[in-house]
Amino acid sequence: MGRKKKKQMKPWCWYCNRDFDDEKILIQHQKAKHFKCHICHKKLYTGPGLAIHCMQVHKETIDGVPNAIPGRVDIELEIYGMEGIPEKDMQERRRTLEQKQESQKKKQNQDDSDEDDDDDDAPGPSFVQQQMPAAQPQASYVPPMAQPGIPPGARAPGMPPGAYSGMPPMMPGHGVPPMMHGMPPGMHGMPPGASGAVPHSVPSTSSDPPKATFPAYTQSSASSSSNPPSNTVAKPPATVTSKPATLTTMSATSKLIHPDEDISLEERRAQLPRYQRNVPRQGQVHMSAPPVAAVGGMMPPQQGMPPQQPGMRHPMHGQYGGPPQGMPGYMQGGMPPYGQGPPMGYQGGPPMGMRPPVMSPAGRY
């Protein structure tokens, strides 16, 4: 990369050791993460500025810079962007960067292509060992782990120097914001699998994984691994079966705002009784309690029931005799009006017996 004379080449944040493409972005980051008042969310310019603001306006003292890594929480140090960073820390950083670059270069010299991040050559581990004392896990890290899952996971535990220096080729720091929002929460949310792997991989994130993070991220998600459903082996793809399978759950700190079954939102909605009646008076959105409970109760039985479409065929057999308990079939006009009010008790039981026969694909319009 460019001119060596710049103080460290890429701007980095002293408080959390993250790398950035541009000093402007670095400053924005610092203002948003480290110099933001937790009470009124005002963004200040420096650490001492934040301390003074809190004291004057809120009459509160703060003891450290928010979101800073341990050792870098000093609120008295006036740091703005790259200015004000103590020389000692600058040198330390330079050294770490050089070490990383060297190990990266050496690794690269050994592979034929830079695309494959899955190399596990013999020279690798021992070589790296010389430079990064904790790099032994390199070997262990390489083969099994869902690597791309790891770098993101590894980034948080404060090993960013490695991760980040490699990043830029892939994703300009700016591109990262969309990631970043995801990332830090993703960190915590990063599934147990990744966190389990993190201890191994932390030291070894020095080499190519960061560089390959983005494509690897997607390749891995294309191929096999980690990310949210790391704790389960059977991924959603396995749901190409008759039953609408349930989604694999995410980690404890992430919650997917979606119903459990792996059918589309529209399919699920089409199963609601009010849409099955085929009368265009769907204005009442607020059906209130009974439907809510009913729908909830109905869902599970329905899952087992329809082999193919959760109720999207027209059975056409006026089997309804019974109440419209989610006669899953769609009736095309001309269906005898039920004359029953909406709040039909939903017994999943009886209809269950009724439905399967009804689900014949032969239903035609």
Partner 1 sequence: MSCCVTCWQVCLFRQHKYVSLASKISIIPGHVMVFKRSIPAFSIYFRGELLYRKAPYPPTESQYGLIALVSVLSLQMTGSNEYKLNQGPEDSISAVKFSPSTGQFLLVSSWDCTVRLYDVAGNSMRIKYSHLAPVLDCAFYDPTHAWSGGLDTQLKTHDLNTDQDTIVGTHDAPIRCVEYCPEVNVMVTGSWDRSVRLWDPRTPCNAGTFTQPEKVYTLSVAGDRLIVGTAGRRVLVWDLRNMGYVQQRRESSLKYQTRAIRAFPNKQGYVLSSIEGRVAVEYLDPSQEMQKKKYAFKCHRLKENGIEQVYPVNAISFHGVHNTFATGGSDGFVNIWDPFNKKRLCQFHRYPTSIASLAFSNDGSTLAIASSYMQEQGDISHPEDTIFIRQVTDAETKPK
Q: Identify whether the C-beta of residue 283 lies closer than 8 Å to the C-beta of residue 323.
A: no
| Partner residues linked to 261 by β-bridges | 246
Residues in 98-127 that interact with partner 1 by CB under 8 A: 115
CB of 51 or CB of 128, closer to partner 1: 51
91 binds partner 1 (CB under 8 A): no
Binds partner 1 (CB under 8 A): choice among 283, 321, 336, 341: 283
Query: Minimum distance from CB of 20 to partner 1 (Å)?
Result: 14
Binds partner 1 (CB under 8 A): choice among 48, 49, 158, 259: 259
233 binds partner 1 (CB under 8 A): no
DSSP 8-state secondary structure symbol assigned to residue 211: T
CB of 122 or CB of 265, closer to partner 1: 265
CB of 133 or CB of 283, closer to partner 1: 283
24 binds partner 1 (CB under 8 A): no
52 binds partner 1 (CB under 8 A): no
Q: Give the residue among 40, 42, 50, 43 at the shortest CA–CA distance from 29.
A: 43
Q: Identify whether the C-beta of residue 299 lies closer than 8 Å to the C-beta of residue 267.
A: no
263 binds partner 1 (CB under 8 A): yes
338 binds partner 1 (CB under 8 A): no
CB of 134 or CB of 292, closer to partner 1: 292
260 binds partner 1 (CB under 8 A): no
Binds partner 1 (CB under 8 A): choice among 9, 69, 287, 352: 287
Query: Minimum distance from CB of 73 to partner 1 (Å)?
Result: 21
CB of 79 or CB of 216, closer to partner 1: 216
The answer to whether the Cα torsion of 183, 184, 186, 187 is positive or negative is positive
Binds partner 1 (CB under 8 A): choice among 73, 77, 90, 312: 312
Q: Is 6 buried (19+), middle (13-18) or exposed (0-12) by CB count in 10 A? A: exposed
Binds partner 1 (CB under 8 A): choice among 15, 262, 302, 326: 262
Binds partner 1 (CB under 8 A): choice among 166, 229, 326, 328: 229
- The neighbour count for residue 292, using CB atoms within 10 Å, is 11
Query: Minimum distance from CB of 339 to partner 1 (Å)?
Result: 19
Count of residues that bind partner 1 according to CB under 8 A:
76
332 binds partner 1 (CB under 8 A): yes
CA distance 171 to 150: 17
Residues in 131-190 that interact with partner 1 by CB under 8 A: 171-172, 174-175, 177-179, 181-183, 185-186, 188-189
Q: Identify whether the C-beta of residue 294 lies closer than 8 Å to the C-beta of residue 274.
A: no
The single residue listed with the structure tokens 């009470």 is: 39
CB of 52 or CB of 292, closer to partner 1: 292
CA distance 302 to 328: 8
Tokens coding 114: 């830079």
Tokens coding 135: 């790099």
Q: Identify whether the C-beta of residue 294 lies closer than 8 Å to the C-beta of residue 346.
A: yes
Q: Which stretch, 80-88, 136-144, 155-163, 219-227, contacts partner 1 (CB under 8 A)?
A: 219-227
What does 127-186 look like in DSSP terms, one character per residue?
A: HHHHHSGGGTHHHHHSSSS-GGGHHHHHHTTT-HHHHHHHHHHHS-TTTHHHHHHHHHHH
250 binds partner 1 (CB under 8 A): yes
